[in-house]
Amino acid sequence: MAGAYLRGTGLACALGLEAESCVSALLQGRVKPSRVRLEKLSEPAELAYYRIPDGAELFDPQRFERLLPAVLRAAVDEAGLTEAERRVLPLFIGSSCFSIGFSERAYAAALAAGTGAALPMPEVGYDYLAGLTRRILGSNGPHWTWNTACTSSANALLGALRALQLGWCRHALVLGAELANLTTLAGFTGLQLLADAVRPFDARRSGMVLGEGLAVVVLSLEPGSAGGMKLLGGANNCDSHSVTVTHPDGQTVSAVLTQALATAGVPPGEVRGLRAHGTSSPGGDTAEAMGLKRVFDPLPPVTVLKPYLGHTLGACGVNELVLFAGALKRGQLPVTPGFEQRDAALALEPITRPAPAPAGVYLLNHFGFGGNNTVLALEKAP
């Protein structure tokens, strides 16, 4: 089946407020996590966090309203869509935070007011991002919103690709969104899955570092002026081993990789490179490495982007696709900061020196809570 062109992109993440400058910062090796203190907890916690450098108060949910317009417009303008095309543009959205920050803030304010009428979760549902996107773009197309943890926006990309392949639309907008909120940061603190540094596949890896990001891709059946990069295929499956940990033997990881390769029509030996999920968690990286070794011999060059922008959870699919595709367009596979000490049990060494990115097929892995696994296949044109 035909793929879909990445016709326009937009991005704001810890690397910057615009896609091209983020890719430049990535290739320069900029890694800038900051520290966040959760003051409002009875026992305040502190954690490393990759925040978007917008200078605003971190937990202000209105940041969506301030940051998303530029990201959306950058993608739609680059795609060169007409007004008529914008109006009917279908929206495919993946997030794990949605409007939870608004609920936290409203509930806290009501409690502080002391009227006895404070309502937890005053904002319900998952439609906030679709409504905001529609309002900014003036679009009235259908929308689908995925909440499948860390695979949310990767699944949104897959859904958009399939809608295009079936001819349901000629263009599709895919949004991945994650902004800081207390629920996510405190929730992961409670799960004890966080570390102070991202060390993907390293022997000393001890957990993930969270981050935030907003990213948009306009997928199209026609290449437009941006041209060059195509989402070829992908696959999703469910690993029911554990709700929080992928099966350590890598079986379900290899299954979803194999399915994704089949949709792209490419044998493992022709894959030019792979952007691993690489959360830097002991169990997650083990399962991913085991799965990769079941499919590839030898492994293609592997890199991890989370040391640059943190784990942006449900948004990582689109965030990291924009960064990865941007680097490939510049002919380069980015290095993996944080990897220093080989883990003999994994025998997987992500690249630590810049490598060329020739034309061909590249894979992007995503694994989430709920056993949700998604692999995307991206093609760089000759």
Q: Please report whether residue 61 would count as binding other proteins according to CB under 8 A.
A: no
Nearest-approach distance from CB 30 to other proteins, in angstroms: 31
Q: Please report whether residue 37 would count as binding other proteins according to CB under 8 A.
A: no
The pair of three-digit structure tokens given for residue 265, joined into one six-digit string: 């029509």
- CA 96 to each of CA 3, 54, 189, 212, 229: distance values in angstroms, whole numbers, following the listed order: 27, 21, 16, 11, 27
Q: Which of 2, 56, 113, 238 binds other proteins (CB under 8 A)?
A: 238
- CA 140 to each of CA 78, 130, 286, 363, 370: distance values in angstroms, whole numbers, following the listed order: 20, 10, 44, 32, 32
Identify which of 49, 8, 371 has the alpha carbon closest to the alpha carbon of residue 189.
Answer: 49
**Phi–psi pair at 141, nearest 5 degrees:** -75, 170
Length of the chain: 382
Q: Please report whether residue 246 would count as binding other proteins according to CB under 8 A.
A: no
Applying the rule CB under 8 A, the residues between 114 and 133 that interact with other proteins are 118-122, 124-127, 130
Taking CB under 8 A as the binding criterion, the range among 99-107, 195-203, 294-302, 348-356 that sits at the site for other proteins is 99-107
d(CA 145, CA 194): 27
Nearest-approach distance from CB 329 to other proteins, in angstroms: 28
Nearest-approach distance from CB 119 to other proteins, in angstroms: 6
Taking CB under 8 A as the binding criterion, the range among 21-29, 222-230, 342-350, 363-371 that sits at the site for other proteins is 363-371
Nearest-approach distance from CB 335 to other proteins, in angstroms: 32
The pair of three-digit structure tokens given for residue 36, joined into one six-digit string: 């966040």
> Which residues have C-beta within 8 Å of that of residue 342, sequence separation ≥ 6?
202, 203, 349
Q: Please report whether residue 191 would count as binding other proteins according to CB under 8 A.
A: yes
Residues that bind other proteins (CB under 8 A): 1, 40-43, 45, 96, 103-104, 107-108, 111, 118-122, 124-127, 130, 142-149, 151-152, 155, 159, 162-163, 165-166, 168, 182-183, 186-187, 189-191, 235-240, 243-244, 252, 255, 368-372
